[in-house]
Amino acid sequence: MSRAVLQPSQQKLAEKLTILNDRGIGMLTRIYNIKKACGDPKAKPSYLIDKNLESAVKFIVRKFPAVETRNNNQQLAQLQKEKSEILKNLALYYFTFVDVMEFKDHVCELLNTIDACQVFFDITVNFDLTKNYLDLIVTYTTLMIMLSRIEERKAIIGLYNYAHEMTHQSSDREYPRLGQMIVDYENPLKKMMEEFVPHSKSLSDALISLQMVYPRRNLSADQWRNAQLLSLVSAPSTMLNPAQSDTMPCEYLSLDVMEKWIIFGFTLCHGVLNTDAAALNLWKLALQSSSCLCLYRDEVFHIHKSIEDLFVNIRGHNKRINDIRECKEAALSHGGSMHRERRKFLRSALKELATVLADQPGLLGPKALFVFMALSFARDEIIWLLRHADNIQKKSADDFIDKHIAELIFYMEELRAHVRKYGPVMQRYYVQYLSGFDAVVLNELVQNLSVCPEDESIIMSSFVNTMTSLSVKQGSRILIFPLKRHYDSVSQPFWCHDPLFPILDKLHTALSELCFSINYVPNMIVWEHTFTPREYLTSHLEIRFTKSIVGMTMYNQTTQEIAKPSELQTSVRAYMTVLQSIENYVQIDITRVFNNVLLQQTQHLDSHGEPTITSLYTNWYLETLLRQVSNGHIAYFPAMKAFVNLPTENELTFNAEEYSDISEMRALSELLGPYGMKFLSESLMWHISSQVAELKKLVVDNVEVLTQMRTSFDKPDQMAALFKKLTCGYSVDSVLKRMTIIGVILSFRSLAQEALRDVLSCHIPFLVSSIEDFKDHIPRETDMKVAMNVYELSSAAGLPCEIDPALVVALSSQKSETISPEEEYKIACLLMVFVAVSLPTLASNVMSQYSPAIEGHCNNIHCLAKAINQIAAALFTIHKGSIEDRLKEFLALASSSLLKIGQETDKTTTRNRESVYLLLDMQSPAVKGARDVDGLASHCWSWEAIMVDGKPDEVPKDNGRSFHSFGVRTEKHRPVLARLARGWMISRQAEAEQRLLEGTYGVTKHRRYRGAEPFRRTLVKMRVWNSSRNLVERMKQGNTRNEVRNREHHGGEMNE
């Protein structure tokens, strides 16, 4: 190194090279981002695509870099309006270009300083300095090429400057130089070739020094194989000898980096190609190896075409143009196959190296250079393949498809893992090597120096002393490296080749490698992000499991077809079994996958906003099954606890029983869980609330008539006249139909709740029993809010409640601010009146006939009892009224209305009156212990003929007390009651009738035996109805119920 006017040691060249290289990478990133943003219509600055600014932008680009604002007011008028926004939004782009210009100035200044200092560059002597110098030139060249590829650069810079001119009445101070730079570097390589004429000496010396490194690195696979490159076992006698080289850092220098140095460097100082044969050989060898270079990320530089276009216009380069064409043909013909063979060799070499080092990690000390060389070679080949894969030439496409690239990457990961794991081994070896060998050699060299300044001699002596005193400070213990070996084996019988499964055969190896890799690599760091393969696999399993569950429902919105819940449950369990088997091969928590996915399926939408099986099945049951029930195509059969198709002209596409029986409802409960069943219940209640809202409208329309009927139930003639007013406008039919729909929905909900209770009793029996104890032991005096909390808990567990909390919540939302609470309460009372007085019209319906086989009616009117109970309990809980009093009133009105059917002479009107009478047999008190309601029923009907809650074992002993009705006490009701009793008889199965006649009916584990004899006596007593009139008259005259009960009980017969 020459000591000229400028002292290199005072210029801090190495520091400046390091800083500028780092800054150059940052500038490349910014320019790359601008290029990508301008190439994306969504991210492109809006001013470049604004139609209003289109003419102004074209004018600015055409005049660039000149600034003319005086005579072009019309074209720049729109720019005047948006100048402030343009300055604000384009400042980031503009000042990035200014920073590029400043970076260029600093680079040129440093290159001039280096030339003035006559710095000597040789990659084999001063590796770091030469490498940083060549890196800076390549970075500078790449930056200018990237800048020239931004097509909107003139528009962005010009728009910003015009906006600055209009705002500050002057151009930006950096604009003249920046604009000139943009114009000069339209063809960046051509301009830089002119710039680098003074730097040719330094640059060519640095590049020619690569002739000792690059040709040795750029060998074919056969040459590597013949030299047994990277093999530790080829020479066992020298296995423990340290691997040494005079050019140690160059041995693992990136081949891709060296090719960039050679191609860009000799392009900038192209004159040396005609004068130096070594330079020409290096240049041609690099051109034959690749067809493109990576500028930055996915931006590539096509070598041969770009350089040929440059050399065409340069005199004396005709031979070089021919060389370029020959090298291009060689690169396209042989480059792909040469690199393919290299990758093939490296796979076997790295596998051998990883295996030996796993068995003998102590060799990482003397053979560390082999590890770094192997990693460097493999990295170069992978980068070359990735770079050329997106720029494939059609005639050699097969050379760029490598199915075994993952194997090569895996062996690289193994070597890296060994180095990280056994780092202390390498550290200890080289510390001892420095103090025991290098320190001795360095001391001899220092002693043999003939001329050495005193200051340098002191520094060298300090080096020797420091190296001699090095110690690992690990004590005198023996290091033991336990090697944990993992033997992965698959226990399975030997399978002969089956041509039916070629895909499985092909993918089996890939799947095994994938599972092993996921277990092997816990995480990977990519830039500032950490990638965890197991979490990635888990997230994808969740996504696919979610899609599979929804897909297995086979829901067709057009045909309204859906898989049965039991079928879906079987499919889901089979799918889960397969997923569970993954745990045998990959260390992931598959239970977490199940919990996340299945819990999301209990909601109406999953985390991605997609419909779940809960929403699909809820929609299907509401819109398909229950809608067909309302249309009369399906009936609810209490005896079967299922919905069954009715014979109709247009047969349904599905069998309702296959979707609503006990097993299917339990499968649905298993799939949806308590959360999903709660959503189903809430959806059902929403439909019920809409029906109740329509019922209230009908009540409001007939409020005056219903008010009169409420107080005139003991006046038959007036009731008949008022009832005729109700029948106008089909209000009565609408009320009964809507109440029946409510009853059907509640019946379906009771099936769902019962199934949920069965499922939860299997899964959490102790918790369910605790909830049941809470519900069964609520004191009567408990505050209603507290009781509703307990009912809500019970309902969530599938337990039946006297007051349905979900229905209370649904109906509470109907409260209106315009209607007072008293008026709301009155409407609720009148609704019960409306239903009670409408019941007799059901007798004229052909479909109202009771069927003992199904324990119900084909038109689902047997569901009215459940609807009346639940609606009454919910409404009067909301309005804080007495449920018992309202049910007393309902029974009074209903019994009075039903007994009047006996007065009808039209057989069409009374064809199914016995079946309708049985509705009160199905009616049950809505509150626990409502015995007053039972007492009222006993006044209205013979207790033996009609039983509250359907409990034949509660027949009281006072058998002759209750054959009267409110306002109707005539001889003509004798046949009515006889038919009523006969209707009750046919409602029981043959077995029940037999037991009744034998006197064995009525024995339960909770109550004492009462027998059936009283009922038989009652049937006999009905024949002497006239004698019972005396009893009724005595009751009318004021005798108490107890007196009558005592007299009749002791008298023995009704006609005493």
Mean pLDDT of 358-373: 93
Q: Which two tokens stand for residue 641?
A: 């606890």
| pLDDT score, position 484 | 29
| 572 is a domain residue | yes
Question: In this structure, are residues 723 and 706 in contact, taking their beta carbons and an 8 Å threshold?
Answer: no
Residue 384 identity = W
Q: For 919-947, what is each residue's pLDDT tens digit?
A: 776 664 443 334 445 555 555 554 333 43
CB atoms within 10 A of CB 442: 17
Question: In this structure, are residues 1054 and 963 in contact, taking their beta carbons and an 8 Å threshold?
Answer: no
Confidence at 820, pLDDT banded by 50, 70, 90: confident
Question: In this structure, are residues 361 and 418 in contact, taking their beta carbons and an 8 Å threshold?
Answer: yes
| pLDDT score, position 443 | 87
CA distances from 219 to 335, 350, 379, 811 (A): 12, 17, 16, 85
**pLDDT over threshold 80, residue 988:** no
Domain count, the chain: 3
Instruction: Tell me how far apart the 2 most distant CA atoms of the chain are, in Å.
Output: 152
The single residue listed with the structure tokens 């050495």 is: 452
**pLDDT over threshold 80, residue 337:** yes
Q: Verify cis geometry, omega within 30 degrees of 0, for the bond prior to 779.
A: no
Q: 59 Cβ partners below 8 Å, 6+ apart?
A: 72, 75, 76
| 89 is a domain residue | yes
**From CA 281, how far away is CA 799, in angstroms rounded?**
90
Q: What is the 3-state secondary structure (H, E, C) of 700-769?
A: HHCHHHHHHHHHCCCCHHHHHHHHHHHHHHHHHHHHHHHHHHHHHHHHHHHHHHHHHHHHHHHHCHHHHH
State the helix-helix crossing angle for 716-727 and 703-711, rounded to 10 degrees.
160
Q: For 749-762, what is each residue's pLDDT tens digit?
A: 999 999 999 999 99
Q: Which two tokens stand for residue 1035?
A: 């009751």
Q: Which two tokens stand for residue 938?
A: 């006993």
Host H or E run for residue 634: strand 634-637
Q: Indicate left, alpha or beta for 636 from its phi (over 0: left) and psi (-120 to 50: alpha).
A: beta
Q: Alpha-carbon Rg of the chain, whole angstroms?
A: 48
Q: Same domain, yes or no, for 462 and 545?
A: no
Tell me which of 612, 646, 672 is where a domain ends.
672
Question: In this structure, are residues 740 and 733 in contact, taking their beta carbons and an 8 Å threshold?
Answer: no
Q: For 145-173, what is each residue's pLDDT tens digit?
A: 999 999 999 999 999 999 999 899 889 99
Chain centroid to Cα 689, Å, comes to 33
Q: Same domain, yes or no, for 145 and 56?
A: yes
Q: Are strands 529-531 and 850-851 parallel, antiparallel or unpaired?
A: unpaired
Q: 681 Cβ partners below 8 Å, 6+ apart?
A: 749, 752, 753, 795, 806
Tell me which of 186, 201, 216 is where a domain ends.
186
**From CA 692, how far away is CA 808, in angstroms rounded?**
12
| 757 is a domain residue | no
Q: Same domain, yes or no, for 46 and 157?
A: yes
**From CA 668, how far away is CA 678, in angstroms rounded?**
12
Mean pLDDT of 460-489: 54
| pLDDT score, position 1050 | 40
Higher pLDDT, 25 or 648: 25
Question: In this structure, are residues 438 and 468 in contact, taking their beta carbons and an 8 Å threshold?
Answer: no
CB atoms within 10 A of CB 513: 15
Q: 774 Cβ partners below 8 Å, 6+ apart?
A: 790, 793, 794
Q: For 831-877, what is each residue's pLDDT tens digit?
A: 888 888 888 888 887 787 887 878 888 888 888 888 888 888 888 88
Question: In this structure, are residues 980 and 947 in contact, taking their beta carbons and an 8 Å threshold?
Answer: no
Question: In this structure, are residues 804 and 688 in contact, taking their beta carbons and an 8 Å threshold?
Answer: no
Residue 30: closest CA among 87, 100, 91: 100
| pLDDT score, position 257 | 96
**From CA 656, how far away is CA 662, in angstroms rounded?**
12
| 401 is a domain residue | no
Q: 533 Cβ partners below 8 Å, 6+ apart?
A: 517, 518, 521, 522, 523, 524
Chain centroid to Cα 467, Å, comes to 59
Mean pLDDT of 40-47: 88
Count of residues in the chain: 1056
Mean pLDDT of 390-418: 84
Q: Same domain, yes or no, for 578 and 456?
A: no
Q: What is the 3-state secondary structure (H, E, C) of 668-699?
A: HHHHHHHHHHHHHHHHHHHHHHHHHHHHHHHH
**pLDDT over threshold 70, residue 952:** no
Q: Same domain, yes or no, for 56 and 158?
A: yes
| 971 is a domain residue | no
Q: Same domain, yes or no, for 553 and 456?
A: no
Q: Same domain, yes or no, for 462 and 551?
A: no
**From CA 30, how far away is CA 548, in angstroms rounded?**
43
- Residue 579 belongs to what domain range? 533-624+636-672
Mean pLDDT of 620-632: 89
Structure-derived torsion over alpha carbons of residues 1000, 1003, 1009, 1011, reported in degrees to the nearest 10: -30
| 584 is a domain residue | yes
Sign of the Cα torsion 311, 334, 286, 104 reads positive
CB atoms within 10 A of CB 939: 19
**pLDDT over threshold 50, residue 1035:** no
Q: Same domain, yes or no, for 455 and 539?
A: no
Confidence at 903, pLDDT banded by 50, 70, 90: low
Mean pLDDT of 117-131: 94
CB atoms within 10 A of CB 706: 24
**pLDDT over threshold 90, residue 320:** yes
Q: Same domain, yes or no, for 461 and 538?
A: no
Enumerate the β-bridge partners of residue 605: 611
Least confident of 52-66, 314-328, 488-502, 583-597: 488-502
| pLDDT score, position 203 | 96
Q: For 486-512, what is each residue's pLDDT tens digit?
A: 323 333 343 444 455 567 666 777 788
**pLDDT over threshold 50, residue 962:** no
Q: Which two tokens stand for residue 494?
A: 């030997």
Higher pLDDT, 222 or 973: 222
Structure-derived torsion over alpha carbons of residues 16, 19, 22, 25, reported in degrees to the nearest 10: -60
**From CA 659, how far away is CA 23, in angstroms rounded?**
70
| pLDDT score, position 897 | 78
Residue 805: closest CA among 757, 763, 749: 749
| 583 is a domain residue | yes
Q: 67 Cβ partners below 8 Å, 6+ apart?
A: 161, 162, 165, 171, 175
Q: What is the 3-state secondary structure (H, E, C) of 994-1023?
A: HHHHHCCCCCCCCCCCCCCHHHHHHHHHHH
Neighbour-count burial of 423, counting CB atoms closer than 10 A to its CB (0-12 exposed, 13-18 middle, 19+ buried): exposed
| pLDDT score, position 54 | 87
**From CA 1032, how far away is CA 939, in angstroms rounded?**
10
**From CA 860, how far away is CA 630, in angstroms rounded?**
9
Average pLDDT, the chain: 81
| 653 is a domain residue | yes
Tell me which of 468, 483, 501 is where a domain ends.
468
Chain centroid to Cα 369, Å, comes to 47
Q: Same domain, yes or no, for 464 and 581?
A: no
Residue 373: closest CA among 250, 257, 286: 250
Q: Same domain, yes or no, for 463 and 542?
A: no
Q: Same domain, yes or no, for 429 and 554?
A: no
